[in-house]
Amino acid sequence: MLRAPLPPPPLPLLPLPRRPLPPRCAPPRRLPLLRALSAAAPAADPPLTLGEFRAGYPLRLDADGPRTSSAERLLVGAGWQETNVMVPLRRWLARLAAKGWINTKLKTSAAAALDPAAEYIPDGFLAGAEAAIPLLLAELSRDTLPPAVAAPSRLKALLKPPLFADFDAHHAALRDMGLALAVDVKSVADCNIHDIWITFGPKTHAKSTLIRAPLVEDLGSMAIVRKSASSVLFREVTFEYAMDPDEMKPDDQGGYLSPSVAARSKSMQLGSVVGIDVLANVNLRLSISKAPASLNEEPKALWSQRISRPMLVRFEADHCSDDFDPSWRVADMDNMIASSLY
């Protein structure tokens, strides 16, 4: 876990079986660097090209900014006033409301007893986030190295399971090809809270702020309805309410209306998951090299690039029903998961 501003306690790492790389919607540009330089992979399972690896890796390995999220794609084609006035205003009001809700929760907990006047959001949280991002990127590099070369990484303890599975699959592919990725952090600056997401509901329904579920109704004004196998999800701006299907039923025409205030209040009383998007300007040196056989061997870079760009990281707490516990793990990077929620 990532705890801001204090470092997380050590957690044991459990082995995770390798998963196949998730399919992508469009074939990336094929650059044959990895395929040509790798002789370790079996012929029946050809290695990735550099283009395939870069396109599917959660951390963007180029100078582009974060991916477009599913929520942002819904706004494509909206009018000038909606895009430039109403949407920014709604997002600002949502951040303000979420900030007050989280700080109020923390003021009632034992964690705030030492300094009741301090506000955790934004200053305390951002101080921890700015310190945590370089540590996280360093663990990405360590996780691609052979076990004989580096101590086991703590990546699984720092990431939520869906994001860890994605990184783990890509890192396994690199190790199979005898390659390693290095993320050399030059600087992390200008950390700001981009959005605060809260999913309300019982733990059985509100498992994350990044629940994948089909979109069934776009109500406009940044309000949507989605339906998973076990719940109906109503989201307004950045607040989502996970309810039982019988609490939010379609009308006679099959459409949905916004749930009542009573239904939303009930979801809020059953618990919540908080996710905070942090936008930071990062300066990195990225390289792919032949994996070293020992600690004393100098890596031989096959590809290297210096980039400076905005990076988006979502820190997410676990579900809580009572006091809010500001212990964080990373749930998404550069909208890898948020770009395919629906």
267-292 pLDDT, tens digit each: 999 999 999 999 999 999 999 999 98
* DSSP conformation class of 33: H
Looking at residue 255, what is its pLDDT?
83
In order of 55, 115, 150, 238, the CA distances from 141 in angstroms are 18, 37, 10, 32
The enclosing H or E element of 52 equals helix 50-56
- Of residues 52 and 158, the one with the higher pLDDT is 158
- The answer to which of 43-57, 127-141, 193-207 has the lowest mean pLDDT is 43-57
Strands (E), the chain: 2-3, 179-200, 215-220, 223-227, 232-236, 239-243, 272-290, 300-316, 327-333
What is the C-alpha to C-alpha distance for residues 79 and 73, in angstroms, rounded to an integer?
14
**pTM as predicted:** 0.84
Residues 330 and 313 sit within 8 Å (Cβ to Cβ): yes
Two tokens, residue 72: 């942002």
3-state secondary structure of 10: coil
Residue type, 258: S
Predicted confidence (pLDDT) per residue in 96-124, tens digit: 999 999 998 887 554 455 555 668 999 99
11 found inside a domain:
no
Q: What is the mean pLDDT of residues 157-172?
A: 96
What is the C-alpha to C-alpha distance for residues 47 and 143, in angstroms, rounded to an integer?
19
Of the segments 18-32, 98-112, 244-258, which one has the largest average pLDDT value?
244-258
At residue 254's C-alpha, the angle toward residues 250 and 259, to 5°, is 25
10 found inside a domain:
no
163 found inside a domain:
yes
**Residue 167: is its pLDDT beyond 70?**
yes
Strand pairing report for 272-290 and 300-316: antiparallel
Residue pointed to by tokens 């012929």: 43
| pLDDT band at 30; cut points 50, 70, 90 | very low
Distance of CA 58 to the CA centre of its chain: 9
Residue pointed to by tokens 């991916």: 67
Residue 108 belongs to what domain range? 48-340
Of the segments 12-16, 108-112, 177-181, 254-258, which one has the largest average pLDDT value?
177-181
216 found inside a domain:
yes
Residues 338 and 332 sit within 8 Å (Cβ to Cβ): yes
In order of 95, 251, 298, the CA distances from 256 in angstroms are 26, 6, 60
Looking at residue 1, what is its pLDDT?
60
Contacts of 225 (CB under 8 A, 6+ apart): 215, 216, 217, 219, 232, 233, 234, 235, 248, 256
What is the C-alpha to C-alpha distance for residues 335 and 312, in angstroms, rounded to an integer?
7
Predicted confidence (pLDDT) per residue in 217-231, tens digit: 999 889 999 999 899
272: number of CA atoms within 13 Å, CB side? 25
37 found inside a domain:
no
What is the C-alpha to C-alpha distance for residues 317 and 329, in angstroms, rounded to an integer?
6
**Residue 336: is its pLDDT beyond 80?**
yes
Looking at residue 109, what is its pLDDT?
54
314 found inside a domain:
yes
170 found inside a domain:
yes
33 found inside a domain:
no
**Mean pLDDT, the chain, integer:** 84
| pLDDT band at 38; cut points 50, 70, 90 | very low
Count other Cβ atoms within 10 Å, centred on residue 124.
17
Interaxial angle between packed helices 125-143 and 161-176, expressed in degrees from 0 to 180 and rounded to the nearest 10 = 30
Specify the number of domains making up the chain.
1
- The answer to which of 65-74, 144-153, 215-224, 327-336 has the lowest mean pLDDT is 144-153
Looking at residue 117, what is its pLDDT?
60
Residues 285, 289, 291, 292, Cα dihedral to 10°: -80
3-state secondary structure of 247: helix
